[in-house]
Amino acid sequence: MQDMSTQQDVLTQLLDEDNLIFIVGGTIAIVAIIFSALKGIITSGSRERSRREIAAYIAEGSMTPEQGEKLMKAGDNKRCS
């Protein structure tokens, strides 16, 4: 029974107005970090898929290597801005 009372006391202290601000802020920060990491993973995956598609077009002859290089560099310029 004592454990249950202690858990309720801890929960009451956590949900106190002063601590609630830090809990909400921390939760928002963690969610933002997770979504930022997911965005990076998706972006790099898409970039790699585009590179493979450009390489395939060059291999089949429907695009010159110079055109492919120009396309790959065009993506780099947008990331730097």
Question: Number of helices (H) and strands (E), helices first, in the chain?
Answer: 3, 0
- Please tell me whether the overall predicted TM-score, pTM, comes out greater than 0.75 for this model: no
Q: Do the Cβ atoms of 54 and 72 come closer than 8 Å?
A: yes
Q: Over the stretch 3-51, which tens digit does the pLDDT of each residue have?
A: 677 888 887 877 777 778 888 899 999 999 999 999 999 999 999 999 9
Q: Which residues contact 63 (CB under 8 A, 6 or more apart)?
A: 54, 57
Q: How far is CA 81 from CA 38, 46, 49, 69, in A?
A: 21, 19, 22, 19
Q: Three-state SS across 16-35?
A: CHHHHHHHHHHHHHHHHHHH
Which helix (H) or strand (E) covers residue 15, if one does?
none
